[in-house]
Amino acid sequence: MIHLHDIVGLFRKSKNNLEEGGITPIVDEKMRCPVCKSFDTKRNVAKNKMVCPSCGHHFRIGARIRVKALCDKGSFQEILTELTTIDPLDFPGYDVKMESGKMGSGEDEAVLCGRASFKGQPCALFVMEPQFMMGSMGSVVGEKLARLFEYAAAEKLPVVGFTCSGGARMQEGILSLMQMAKVSGAVDYHSKRGGLYITVLTDPTTGGVTASFAMLGDIILSEPNATIGFAGRRVIEQTTKKKLPDGFQKAEFLLEHGFVDAIVPRTEMRKTIATLLRQHEMKDHHTALEDALYRQEAEKYKFNTLSPYERVLTARAQDRPTARAYIEQMFTDRTELHGDRKYADDQAIVGGIGMLGEMPVTFIGIERGRNLEERIQCNFGSPMPEGYRKALRLMKQAEKFQRPIICLVDTAGAFCGEEAEERGQGQAIADNLMEMMALTTPVITIVIGEGGSGGALGLSVANKLYMLENAVFSVISPEGCASILWGASSPEASAEAAKCLCITAEDMKRFGVAERIIYEDFVCFEEMCHDLKGTLMGDFKEIYKDSPNISEKRYERFRKLGSWNENK
């Protein structure tokens, strides 16, 4: 850890570097990285936000150093300084620990609270101080955090919080434990008033802090290789009598298991937070859509001569652009978000926040993978239950912040296997169907390839559905239909089944399942995506005219499907 007394007097403001919130040492003393063992000057390390230039190791830093390194110059205004820590249990040696914490950190408690901005985007801010009793949470820490969230709710400010803690403070006993519930309640108070909460987990974030406000952010970021967990590694090994694997409870471990949205290096943190704050600030989309035109069917589209089964094979073609290709082409300022916050991050579902023109949107796509390695990681585009839960989490987040949703569907179906059933595949899809129907924010789904059964429907309960001209949508694959109904497995039987199932884009439009057929031109893919962006913005403009009846209109759309009357 870099101690405050090692830094005080070594750093001065640099005219060039402070523009980016940096710090520069007066002297070029050498310091050694504990990971790669390389030596560099304190000046170079400080310019790099206290990150090793050689290996990227993030040094543990104090709260005020973090504020200087990441926030806009002069923007931090400290608040809630009047609270004083007492010794409620008259715990032996607590007063000595407190004085030691004050001397080592220069702070009166283990959290710093105030207002600040990131690239001009204002927020309420808290930063935990690791040099004050390892950032432990006592009554004053809990009270300051609760008041900060209440203040942010009153001022209509987002909250950005940097966590670093050993957990609840033992010297304050049960009163310390109760702060977990109190602060969690304050987070909920802020959230129910539409407030954004971004948490940044730093090394270490453990114990009661992890089990409360650290993991309650709308968006949870982490610095690389940060230790994050509830019980300590040593405690777990002693209890289970098992050796834990390398990387256990590291940020990368939590990302894989679905509990962290993204790992962001400290050198990119300011930009990332600023982008997220800006996107969440934009809730009135009429300005962004005022020039959007309601576009009719693409004039380029002409009747397709391929047979239904040839469409199926075309939709499955390995060289066909996948969801990521559309996402990368259509959305700028993207932040990909990960995990269902329950079990894992399913790579068959890719989602996040980006800009469609001047309008922030949530994008969610089923990704098949662009090469064999990616296809294996993505289960060849067959989502697991955690994938659908991840998608629903992002949809509910979009609804809270009034962002429209764009879904890209390309799947043979939901993953079929023992582990999927154990984790509730049917329940996950059912939850999506019901929750999507009631979303109060617009949803447009684009079937870009294969739309296979309930696995595709799990992202297709939309206000409007587009079909690429060679995309298909079906209750079952033609091969599965031929096998079950006719006991046949030949290409001819599959082709006949495809014809009988009526699965083409024209069929979907005829049935009222799809509103638009999108012309395919993968040679001019950039131009195709540009036209698609314009179509999306025009339709969002039309959908917003139904506000606040967006969910009712969606239900009416589905209510009509298959409702044949006596005259039909």
Domain holding 264: CATH number?
A: 3.90.226.10
pLDDT at 8: 39
| Residues 6 or more apart in contact with residue 560 via CB below 8 angstroms | 512
Cβ–Cβ under 8 Å, residues 28 and 246: no
Q: Are residues 54 and 66 in the same domain?
A: no
Identify the DSSP state of 32.
E
Cα separation, 17 vs 69, in Å, equals 9
pLDDT at 430: 96
Q: Are residues 338 and 390 in the same domain?
A: yes
Judge whether 200 lies within some domain: yes
Q: Are residues 220 and 87 in the same domain?
A: yes
CA angle 438, 443, 448 (to 5 degrees): 130
Per-residue pLDDT at 13 exceeds 80: no
Residues comprising the binding site for Zn(2+)? 33, 36, 52, 55
458 phi and psi, to 5 degrees?
A: -60, -15
Judge whether 445 lies within some domain: yes
pLDDT band, very low/low/confident/very high, at 547 (cuts 50, 70, 90): confident
Domain endpoint, select from 254, 280, 306: 280
Judge whether 6 lies within some domain: no
Average pLDDT, integer, range 242-267 = 95
Q: Are residues 46 and 97 in the same domain?
A: no
Average pLDDT, integer, range 548-559 = 93
Return the higher-pLDDT residue of 413 and 304.
Answer: 413
Average pLDDT, integer, range 183-204 = 97
Per-residue pLDDT at 22 exceeds 80: no
pLDDT band, very low/low/confident/very high, at 300 (cuts 50, 70, 90): low
How is 132-181 classified by DSSP, letter by letter?
TGGG-B-HHHHHHHHHHHHHHHHHT--EEEEEEE--B-GGGHHHHHHHHH
Between 8-12, 297-301, 479-483, the lowest mean confidence (pLDDT) is in 8-12
Per-residue pLDDT at 20 exceeds 50: no
Judge whether 449 lies within some domain: yes
pLDDT band, very low/low/confident/very high, at 285 (cuts 50, 70, 90): confident
Return the higher-pLDDT residue of 24 and 147.
Answer: 147
As a whole-number percent, the residues of the chain with pLDDT over 90 amount to: 84
Judge whether 371 lies within some domain: yes
Per-residue pLDDT at 287 exceeds 90: no
Residues comprising the binding site? 33, 36, 52, 55
Cβ–Cβ under 8 Å, residues 395 and 364: yes
Return the residue matching tokens 């300022």. Answer: 333
Between 12-26, 59-73, 329-343, 372-386, the lowest mean confidence (pLDDT) is in 12-26
Cα separation, 429 vs 180, in Å, equals 33
> SS3 letters for 171-207?
HHHHHHHHHHHHHHHHHHHHHHCCCCEEEEEEEEEEH
Angle between helices 139-155 and 173-192 (to 10 degrees): 10
How is 305-318 classified by DSSP, letter by letter?
-S-HHHHHHHHT-T
- pLDDT tens-digit readout, 450-482: 999 999 999 999 999 999 999 999 999 999 999
Cα separation, 119 vs 547, in Å, equals 33
Mean pLDDT over all residues of the chain?
A: 91
Q: Are residues 46 and 89 in the same domain?
A: no
pLDDT at 282: 81
pLDDT at 341: 96
pLDDT band, very low/low/confident/very high, at 564 (cuts 50, 70, 90): low
pLDDT at 37: 94
Q: Are residues 49 and 67 in the same domain?
A: no
Q: Of 503, 506, 429, give the one whose Cα is nearest residue 472.
A: 503
Cα separation, 209 vs 179, in Å, equals 9
Question: Can you give the residue range of the structural domain that contains 546?
Answer: 318-559
Identify the DSSP state of 381.
G
Name residue 351's beta-bridge partners: 337, 364
pLDDT band, very low/low/confident/very high, at 303 (cuts 50, 70, 90): low
Per-residue pLDDT at 543 exceeds 60: yes
Q: Are residues 36 and 88 in the same domain?
A: no
pLDDT at 233: 85
Q: What is the pTM of this model?
A: 0.90
Return the higher-pLDDT residue of 27 and 109.
Answer: 109
Domain endpoint, select from 231, 251, 280: 280
Q: Are residues 326 and 395 in the same domain?
A: yes
Per-residue pLDDT at 9 exceeds 50: no
Judge whether 305 lies within some domain: no
pLDDT at 12: 39
Between 171-180, 186-195, 252-261, 283-292, the lowest mean confidence (pLDDT) is in 283-292
Return the higher-pLDDT residue of 408 and 291.
Answer: 408
Q: Are residues 271 and 341 in the same domain?
A: no
- Structural domain count, the chain: 3
pLDDT at 23: 54
Angle between helices 266-281 and 63-70 (to 10 degrees): 70
Q: Are residues 44 and 94 in the same domain?
A: no
Q: Are residues 383 and 451 in the same domain?
A: yes
pLDDT at 27: 56
Judge whether 287 lies within some domain: no
pLDDT band, very low/low/confident/very high, at 286 (cuts 50, 70, 90): confident
pLDDT at 539: 93
Cα separation, 521 vs 474, in Å, equals 23
Q: Are residues 39 and 66 in the same domain?
A: no
pLDDT at 6: 46
pLDDT at 284: 78
Judge whether 235 lies within some domain: yes
Per-residue pLDDT at 395 exceeds 60: yes
pLDDT at 4: 42
